[in-house]
Amino acid sequence: MHAGNIELNKIHDYLWEIPKHDGMNVPGRIYTSRKMIETSLQNDEAVKQVINVAHLPGIQKYSLAMPDIHWGYGFPIGGVAATDINDGVISPGGVGYDINCGVRLASTSLRYEKISRHVKRLVENLFRNVPTGVGASGAIHKLNQKELKNILHRGSHWAVENNFGTDEDIINTEENGKLDGADPSSVSERALERGLDQAGTLGSGNHFLELDVVEEIYNQRAADVMGLFIGQVVVMIHTGSRGLGYQICDDYLKVLINAEKKYGYKLPDRQLTCAPVKSEEGQDYLSAMKCAANFAWNNRQVIMHLAKNSIKSTLGIPEAELQFKLIYDVCHNIAKIEEHEIDGEVKQLCVHRKGATRAFPPEDKNIPALYRSIGQPVLIPGDMGRYSFIAVGTDTAMRETFGSSCHGAGRVKSRHQALKSAKGRNLIEELAGQGLTIQAKGHKTIAEEMPQAYKDVSEVVEVMHKSGISTKVAKLKPFGVIKG
């Protein structure tokens, strides 16, 4: 089987390997189906990036890609790579510009059939109360630098301490909403400036706040643990570290380009610029990246609180009746130091997940006690016109993918191509015909994020399910969306 000009050897129906060749330190592996190879991987730029990543110093086992793979900066989006922290590197291209872009899912006691007549007002009020779009600000008072640095250090703990959530929210957030070792002194003044008034803001592009209804349940036991039922209204939030994270990435790409020359690395793509994990440059980037990750967790925590209050006020119901609870929060643009078994030896690795979600198995000590009987929740948003999914991590993921799964649908059209194909169409009316109420800053965002710009997320999720990497729990259907 070929993706463009690149040969893929079949391991099984949902896993394909690129043999190690021409300077690759490890093979490349792509989780996908024959159909998806034929329909979305024939332009092989993203597959070339899988090969390029396999050249990284200290990379372990495989350069991996999930079924939502598409072209990105340096690494493909959907890419996973783990490097040994002693002789391996850290690469900003393996994290991306939107550091700790992630997904948060909250449940309610509401049944869709009971609130369906209020959907338009709910969407309008959410759009009014949650700042969205490029340069969005004003969710909370403008922070001073001391407060902002506290957020960079403490993550979503800052939000909870300032009455934007509860201790239970912290428990049900990946890494408890805070990466240790985040030192704000590693963050530039320009990045700090950009973050001062963006806490609790949604941003633009593919970021969204979505009202969903639980449409189908595949694993009743896991659904019960998560508190899910058919017809239930849940809230999904997708955003990241905003301008602050973008600036940190931009700043450190310049630093690490010089470091690459210093350490004598010769890589096939300049966008893979990197430094040894334990070098001064590598540690500074890791610290700044952790600051951005903490900002993003705080961001989603504040947005969730704003959403809860907006739903309460719109429907005129008390908190006890709404029963608004965080199910889980996952990040999908990050590098983390984790322990994994390599050839029978437990090693500390720097695991890059870019457009990939952590998917740790049952009984893992790093996931909340509530979920240790079923595995870590994996949240997989699709496009706004179709559906999203909830899954759980598995032992197979831990063995094969460093405990990683897919993060979404994956683009098949660039934003420019989507704009072109949306010309002359009333997408708001089209989506309304599919039962979706949407509010956004403008037509351009809706056009760029049109459903046809993405793969069918059910095919992506099925590859992960059939591979045993993350198994399906429930399908969600969107009925209300706000976007920048």
Would you please indicate which residues are annotated as catalytic (active-site) residues?
407
The DSSP annotation for 74-89 comes to SSPEEEEEEEETTT-E
Q: Which tokens in the block code for residue 41?
A: 């991987």
Q: Which tokens in the block code for residue 175?
A: 């890494």
Q: Which residues, in sequence order, are bridge partners of residue 336?
A: 351
In this structure, are residues 308 and 155 in contact, taking their beta carbons and an 8 Å threshold?
Answer: no
Q: Which residues, in sequence order, are bridge partners of residue 351?
A: 82, 336
Nearest CA to 385 out of 428, 351, 343, 346 is that of 428
Secondary structure letter of residue 268 according to DSSP: S
In this structure, are residues 403 and 476 in contact, taking their beta carbons and an 8 Å threshold?
Answer: no
Give the HSE-up count for residue 227: Cα atoms under 13 Å, Cβ half-sphere: 15
Task: Give the angle subtended at the CA of 67 by the CAs of 49 and 286, to the nearest 5°.
Answer: 55
351-385: burial string, b at 16+ Cβ within 10 Å, e else: bbbbbbbbbbbbebeebbebbbebbbbbbbbbbbb
Please return the burial class of 201, using the count of CB atoms within 10 Å of its CB with bins 0-12, 13-18 and 19+: buried
* Alpha helices (runs of H) in 162-279, residue ranges in sequence order: 167-171, 189-195, 220-226, 242-262
* Alpha helices (runs of H) in 2-42, residue ranges in sequence order: 34-40
In this structure, are residues 108 and 310 in contact, taking their beta carbons and an 8 Å threshold?
Answer: no
Between CA 32 and CA 461 the distance in angstroms is 10
What radius of gyration do the chain's Cα atoms show?
A: 21
In this structure, are residues 361 and 375 in contact, taking their beta carbons and an 8 Å threshold?
Answer: yes
Helix 145-154 to helix 280-315 angle (10° resolution) is 100
Helix 242-262 to helix 280-315 angle (10° resolution) is 170
The DSSP annotation for 439-464 comes to EES-HHHHHHT-GGGB--HHHHHHHH
Secondary structure letter of residue 70 according to DSSP: E
